[in-house]
Amino acid sequence: MFSKMDPAKRTLVMLCGMVFTMVSLSFASVPLYDWFCRVTGYGGTTLEADAAPDQILDKTINVRFDGSLTSNMAWEFKPVEREMTVRIGETGLAFYEAYNPTDRPIAGSASYNVFPFTAGGFFTKIDCFCFEEQVLQPGERVQMPVTFFVDPEIVEDRDGKYIDAITLSYTFYEIPLEDTQAALDIAPATDENNDIN
């Protein structure tokens, strides 16, 4: 049937098919790239695990912590401790502090990476505030933990064995408040004892 079409219509159908395929691939490329980076640690993307490995080496590595905000984020955000030394394979625990100095609740989410980028495949988070959105009420100050380890396989890697310091960076950006959270924040306080029957 396709070969019996008018050549102009056939060309139009083929062009429409190509445009549809290209648009579909462009939308699929973002989640596929994100998946690729998370699996391989490419571009400084860290890995995730449920627990630290059983093997802890005597070799140590310095882990530096960095915190920043996008230009439209009204929070204050910084690491509590700027640097720590951990043994490779040992579980580390670090805290970041966030403060909302405004008079409105603000929801935020954090993007993250490590430097050097080759360390991404060996820096593994067990638990992190960055796994879910954070909502700070007006004037609220919180300390948010990140639990991590550096995989012992780093000492066997062709490039990783030369790494003696890793920088973990977070950038917080504002996200829209969920409708239920926004409604809770603006709901007037009621006194249940003042019900009139």
Q: Averaged over 9-26, what is the pLDDT?
A: 79
Give the pLDDT score at 182: 52
Q: Domain coordinates of the chain in residue numbers? A: 2-40, 47-182
Global pTM?
0.68
pLDDT tens, residue by residue, 49-83: 677 778 899 999 999 999 999 999 999 999 999 99
The whole-number pLDDT of residue 167 equals 94
What's phi and psi for 72, nearest 5 deg? -95, 5
CB-CB contact of 171 with 110 (8 Å):
yes
Residue 18 vs residues 4, 5, 15, 24, 32: alpha-carbon distances, Å? 20, 18, 5, 10, 20
Is the preceding omega at residue 116 within 30 degrees of 0, hence cis? yes
Q: Tell me the HSE value of 89 on the side-chain side, using a 13 A CA sphere.
A: 10
Which tens digit of pLDDT belongs to each residue from 131-150?
889 999 999 999 999 999 99
The count of other CB atoms within 10 Å of the CB of residue 184 is 12
Homologous superfamily (CATH) of 47-182 is Ctag/Cox11 (2.60.370.10)
Nearest to 125 by CA among 188, 63, 32, 172: 63
**pLDDT tens by residue, 78-126:** 999 999 999 999 999 999 999 999 999 999 999 888 899 888 889 888 8
